[in-house]
Amino acid sequence: MTSALADEDDLIVAAQHGDDQAYGRLVSAYRAELHAHCYRMLGSYADAEDAVQEALLRAWRGIRGFERRSSLRAWLYTVATNACLKALERRPRRALPVDYGPAADPHHSPEPPSAELAWIEPYADRRELAADTAAAPEARYDQRESVELAFIAALQHLTSRQRAALILHDVLGYPAAQIAGMLRTTPASVYSSLQRAHKAAEGRLPHPSQQTTLRSLGDDGLRNLAGRYVDAWHRGDIDAIVAMLTSDAILSMPPLPSWFAGAAAIRAFLATLPMTQRDRSRLVATWANGQLAFGHYLFDGGKGRYLAHSVDVLTLRGSRIAAITAFKVPDLFGSFGLSPSVGNTPG
- Per-residue pLDDT of the chain in tens (347 residues, 90 and over written 9): 445 556 889 999 999 999 999 999 999 999 999 999 999 999 999 999 999 999 999 999 999 999 888 899 999 999 999 999 999 998 888 999 999 889 999 999 899 998 888 999 999 976 555 544 445 666 778 778 899 999 999 999 999 999 999 999 999 999 999 999 999 999 999 999 999 999 998 888 888 999 999 999 999 999 999 999 999 999 999 999 999 999 999 999 999 999 999 999 999 999 998 778 899 999 999 999 999 999 999 999 888 999 999 999 999 999 999 999 999 999 999 999 999 999 866 65
> Residue 11's domain is classified under what CATH number?
1.10.1740.10
pLDDT at 1: 42
CA–CA separation, 232 and 308 (whole Å): 18
pLDDT at 6: 61
Number of domains the chain is built from = 2
Tell me the Cα Rg of the chain.
Answer: 22
pLDDT at 4: 58
Which of 73, 89, 105 marks a domain boundary? Answer: 89
Residues with Cβ < 8 Å from 174, sequence gap 6 or more?
Answer: 74, 77, 135, 136, 138, 168, 182
> Residue 239's domain is classified under what CATH number?
3.10.450.50
Which of 54, 73, 89 marks a domain boundary? Answer: 89
Q: Give Dmax over CA atoms of the chain in angstroms.
A: 66
Q: Would you say residue 136 lies in a domain?
A: no
CA–CA separation, 333 and 346 (whole Å): 21
CA–CA separation, 184 and 177 (whole Å): 11
Q: Would you say residue 168 lies in a domain?
A: no
pLDDT at 158: 95
pLDDT at 275: 79
Q: Would you say residue 135 lies in a domain?
A: no
pLDDT at 331: 94
Q: How far is CA 150 from CA 34, 205, 226, in A?
A: 20, 6, 21
Half-sphere exposure of 16 (CA within 13 A, CB side): 13
CA-CA-CA-CA dihedral for 89, 91, 96, 97, to nearest 10: 130
Q: Would you say residue 97 lies in a domain?
A: no
Q: Would you say residue 163 lies in a domain?
A: no
CA–CA separation, 324 and 245 (whole Å): 9
pLDDT at 144: 81
pLDDT at 5: 54
Scored b (16 or more CB within 10 A) or e, 16-35 reads: eeeeeebbeebbeebeebbb
pLDDT at 133: 46
Exposed/middle/buried for 103, CB within 10 Å: 0-12, 13-18, 19+?
middle
Q: Would you say residue 276 lies in a domain?
A: yes
Q: Would you say residue 316 lies in a domain?
A: yes
Boundaries of domain holding 272: 210-342
Which of 35, 60, 89 marks a domain boundary? Answer: 89
Q: Would you say residue 321 lies in a domain?
A: yes
